[in-house]
Amino acid sequence: MECPDLQPPSSVRGMTLLDREKFKKIVQIPKLNVTDVNLKSILPHIKRMLLKIQRHKSIEIENDGTKKLLLHPTAITCFGDLPEEVRNLGLNGSHLKWEEFELTYENWTTDDILKAVLPADQESCTSYSRIGHIIHVNLKTHLLPYKQLIGEVFRDKIAGIRCVINKIQTIDNTFRNFQLELLSGEEDYQVEVKENGTNFKFDFSQVYWNPRLATEHERIIKMHDKGDVLYDVFAGVGPFSIPVAKRKAFVLANDLNPSSYKWLQYNMKKNKVTNFMQTINKDGRDFITEDVKCDLIKRWNCSDSKLYKIHLTMNLPAMAVEFVDTFCGLMSNYTGPIEPLPLVHVYCFAKGDDPASIAKCLVEENLGYKLSTNLEGVHFVRNVAPNKDMFRVSFYLTQEILCSKKGASKRGITNETSAEFSSKKPCNTTN
């Protein structure tokens, strides 16, 4: 229930340096004082009317046995507002009194404080990510004058937080990290987190980690069974790879960032999956043309190749689609069996009225083939910004794509349609 009296004082609007003393405020709060009445006979009828404030109990019991129930001033304005079941317990107007109550900085939530301080006519700071003991925000320009205050409020209000940082540039460099600015706390960026039953440790200032992708990670993880294969092209510190390896699937995980590779190896050992996982530190394109190709050929020539599934993840949404042309002609010199077909999961950003179709087209344009019967699906992952969504396009690498000599070359989609998904004959192409 909204009540202006229970909001921070209006005088704090525009504060840029946090002054906790200025949040003190005296308000009148209704209290129901009872002595001979059992609380169990009152609470079922009045529970929703209790005033819930941080760092303060709604019910106080004094030494003489008197129970004081703090009530919400919007719900209770007079004795007649109390439920009839409560009034019939031998109570009268003298049992309800208005008393002065001091609200302080400690009694308000993070949201209460920031809404009271930040500009009322612009977007507030309501979105943040927690990574271990770190709070990560991405402040808009109009919030930068308040950045120090924002950092202190988050560190005050959220238990276990020792560090609040702001991202000051987009993730567009080779190693997928970003410049950060310390807003409050200590410069301790080495964190430990748990996701999908797996423990990870890494330096957040040097690698990429997004807790909002936990659900998507789980979707891919659950696609894998014991004995399956995963090629993780942009593995990071292992949010796909390590949980999949814990399911006793074989994983070949790659990342170009030396720091990501270091922590990928660390987390592999920490989670005791070294028997099911290998790590590589090279460019994604080289990883596909060298390591993935070699491993695929080895597996396709095994007698049990039909007994497992092959997945390939490409979670670098800003540019992963630019790597899919690597699959074109990857096996042009190979004449052996191609089964099972790898299922590629490539992530990308899309803007527009029909972002799912745009995501599909981005993959097709870079691959050089129409996705038809080999398209598993286009899946929404999350909203990144207004009119900007993240999608996963999942498609099978067909014989035609893998064995074609023409490649995509990014000149647009070829006139030839993709091979029928059911076609799994060996390649007959030669040098």
Q: How confident is the model at residue 36, as a pLDDT?
A: 80
- 250-284 pLDDT, tens digit per residue, is 999 999 999 999 999 999 999 999 999 999 999 99
208-403: what fold? Rossmann fold (3.40.50)
Residue 151 burial (CB count, 10 A): 24
Which tokens sit at 108?
């308000």
Torsion of CA 378, 384, 386, 388, to 10 degrees: -40
Q: What is the DSSP string of 136-204?
A: EE---GGGGGGHHHHHHHHHHHSTT--EEEEE-S-S-STTS---EEEEEE----EEEEEETTEEEEEET
* CA–CA distance, 47 with 125 (Å, rounded to integer): 32
SS3 328: coil
Vertex 233: Cα angle to 342 and 132 (nearest 5): 125
25-103: what fold? Alpha-Beta Plaits (3.30.70)
Residue intervals in the chain for CATH 3.40.50.150? 208-403
SS3 415: coil
Q: How far from 398 is each of 199, 240, 371, CA to CA, in Å?
A: 36, 24, 10
HEC string of 12-44 equals HCCCCCCCHHHHCEEEEEEEEEECCCCHHHHHH
Residue intervals in the chain for CATH 3.30.300.110? 110-192
Q: What is the DSSP string of 87-115?
A: HTTT--GGGEEEEEEEE-GGGS-HHHHHH
Residue 305 burial (CB count, 10 A): 17
Q: Give the pLDDT of the chain (431 residues) as one tens digit per residue.
A: 568 889 999 999 999 999 999 999 999 999 999 988 888 888 999 999 999 988 888 998 888 888 899 999 999 999 999 999 999 988 899 999 999 999 999 999 999 999 999 999 888 887 899 999 999 998 999 999 999 999 999 999 999 999 999 987 665 556 566 688 999 999 999 999 999 999 999 999 999 999 999 999 999 999 999 999 999 999 999 999 999 999 999 999 999 999 999 999 999 999 999 999 999 999 999 999 999 999 999 999 986 766 899 999 999 999 999 999 999 999 999 999 999 999 999 999 999 999 999 999 999 999 999 999 999 999 999 999 888 999 999 999 999 999 986 544 444 444 343 333 333 333 433 33
110-192: what fold? GMP Synthetase; Chain A, domain 3 (3.30.300)
Give exposure, 285-301, as e/b (b: 16+ Cβ within 10 Å).
eebbeebbbebbeebbe
Residue intervals in the chain for CATH 3.30.70? 25-103
SS3 356: helix
Torsion sign (Cα): 193, 198, 203, 208: negative
For residues 310 and 283, is the Cβ–Cβ distance under 8 A? Answer: no
